[in-house]
């Protein structure tokens, strides 16, 4: 179930291990190559309705269907902001990393009044701070990030939803790097707007956005003229979505990709998919610790990526260059200045198996050695294989990468 893109002349396969975009399974790629059919014809509408239905359990939403549109993740975030806020409306942003400030930029751009509850990157959202702020003032909305992919923190949306539900404010959540890999219970947790995008745990290329709104959100949005908006006006999306139709010309190839990805999640079973994300992220974190890396985030780690600080003496940008140049393994660094030379971020979302994690550990170990560092690869493979022993781990690595690990 893993996409492999042998790049001609390269000995090792190209491994896209970013926290998004993620590797696309071959099945999804093949689905995208199907003919582009009429976006309002019966055949496509059946596919579209399947997607709407298939997303509902992943969102934890019964009732209303989600909206689907051509957009990146930030576009989907903007759609949330322009529908819950407006000029002069007050919003509260729970900011604990890189994506809260994006919400802030979007809200300021439309003239909203912005307050923030800030905690340093790597810390969980300050729930008590949010509660205090909501008691002090009335807000149109609280904006938060589900899986903060700059730090690896997972937000306790159940607790946050419980706090916001006591007030008239709407809770809008960026789950771009969460949905499909981290549990989402929109109805149960009281999340009023969930926005996401195709290129993370949903195993598709970048370019498709989605939004799912609660009944509380629809009550607030309909008939309320918040401010200038058009393409992203949920009042245009809602009646079309309820009829099972796309609002605009549908990105047919992208939706066909998502249809296949949702079929894959259905075949594995949503519970199993979510459990696999938890297991693989924990395995990668344990293996990296055995290699000498240390954890960055406090609180609950996101199951969709692993964020770690390099072993003493290993420069993160040099390690990232060595992984790409020597092993065709592509991982991310950071935009945070203070950890620029230490932070590495690796995605654990989408179409991944145990062998991928062991291949990650093997290639990390090799790159560390290339840079003159010392590490315990056998110990890392044993930790990454969930204590099933380094030999088994090594066998799976060689199968994955097509070369003997004992070379």
**Residues within the interface to ligand PLP (CB under 6 A):** 20, 72-74, 99, 145, 149, 174, 176-177, 197, 206
Smallest separation, CB 171 to ligand PLP (Å) = 16
Q: Specify which residues 290 forms β-bridges with.
A: none
Nearer to ligand PLP, 210 or 368 (CB): 210
Nearer to ligand PLP, 200 or 400 (CB): 200
Listed in sequence order, the residues at least 6 apart from 364 whose beta carbon sits closer than 8 Å to its beta carbon are: 288, 291, 319, 323, 380
Smallest separation, CB 67 to ligand PLP (Å) = 16
* Backbone dihedral angles phi then psi of residue 92, each to the nearest 5 degrees: -115, 125
Smallest separation, CB 99 to ligand PLP (Å) = 4
Nearer to ligand PLP, 114 or 318 (CB): 114
Give yes or no for a contact between 344 and 320, defined as CB atoms under 8 angstroms apart. yes
Q: Specify which residues 116 forms β-bridges with.
A: 93
Q: Specify which residues 5 forms β-bridges with.
A: 14
Q: At 400, list the tokens.
A: 């994955």
Q: Residue 15: which of 2, 32, 34 has the closest Cα? A: 2
Is 369 assigned to a binding site?
Answer: no
CA atoms within 13 A on the CB side of 94: 32
Smallest separation, CB 375 to ligand PLP (Å) = 29
Nearer to ligand PLP, 148 or 260 (CB): 148
d(Cα 14, Cα 4) in Å, to the nearest integer? 7
Give yes or no for a contact between 58 and 196, defined as CB atoms under 8 angstroms apart. no
Nearer to ligand PLP, 97 or 355 (CB): 97
Smallest separation, CB 320 to ligand PLP (Å) = 18
Q: Which residues are annotated as a binding site for substrate?
A: 345
Annotated binding-site members? 345
């Amino acid at each position: 179930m893993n996409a492999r893109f042998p790049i001609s002349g390269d000995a090792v396969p190209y491994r896209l291990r970013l926290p998004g975009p993620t590797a696309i399974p071959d099945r999804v790629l093949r689905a995208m190559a199907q003919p582009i059919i009429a976006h309002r014809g019966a055949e496509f509408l059946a596919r579209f309705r399947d997607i709407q239905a298939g997303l509902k359990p992943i969102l934890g939403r019964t009732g209303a269907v989600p909206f689907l549109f051509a957009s990146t993740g930030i576009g989907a975030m903007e759609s949330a902001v322009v529908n819950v806020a407006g000029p002069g409306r007050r919003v509260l942003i729970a900011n604990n990393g890189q994506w809260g400030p994006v919400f802030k930029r979007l809200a300021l751009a439309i003239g909203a009044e912005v307050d923030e509850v800030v905690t340093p990157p790597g810390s969980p959202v300050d729930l008590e701070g949010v509660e205090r702020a909501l008691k002090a003032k009335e807000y149109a909305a609280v904006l938060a990030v589900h899986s903060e992919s700059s730090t690896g923190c997972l937000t306790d949306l159940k607790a946050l939803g419980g706090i916001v539900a006591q007030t008239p404010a709407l809770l809008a959540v960026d789950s771009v790097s969460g949905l499909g890999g981290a549990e989402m219970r929109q109805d149960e947790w009281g999340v009023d707007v969930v926005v996401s995008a195709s290129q993370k745990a949903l195993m598709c290329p970048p370019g498709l956005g989605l939004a799912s709104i609660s009944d509380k959100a629809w009550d607030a949005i309909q008939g309320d003229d918040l401010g200038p908006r058009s393409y992203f006006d949920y009042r245009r999306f809602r009646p079309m979505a309820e009829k099972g139709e796309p609002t605009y010309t549908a990105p047919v190839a992208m939706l066909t990709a998502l249809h296949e990805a949702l079929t894959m999640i259905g075949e594995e079973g949503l519970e199993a998919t979510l459990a696999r994300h938890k297991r693989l992220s924990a395995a990668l974190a344990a293996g990296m610790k055995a290699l000498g890396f240390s954890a960055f985030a406090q609180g609950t780690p996101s199951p969709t990526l692993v964020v770690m600080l390099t072993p003493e003496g290993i420069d993160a940008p040099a390690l990232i260059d060595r992984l790409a140049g020597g092993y065709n393994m592509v991982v991310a660094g950071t935009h945070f200045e203070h950890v620029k030379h230490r932070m590495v971020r690796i995605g654990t979302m989408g179409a991944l198996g145990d062998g991928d994690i062991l291949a990650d550990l093997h290639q990390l170990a090799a790159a560390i050695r290339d840079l003159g560092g010392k590490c315990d690869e056998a110990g890392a493979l044993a930790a990454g294989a969930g204590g099933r022993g380094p030999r088994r781990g090594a066998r799976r690595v060689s199968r994955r990468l097509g070369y003997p690990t004992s070379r």
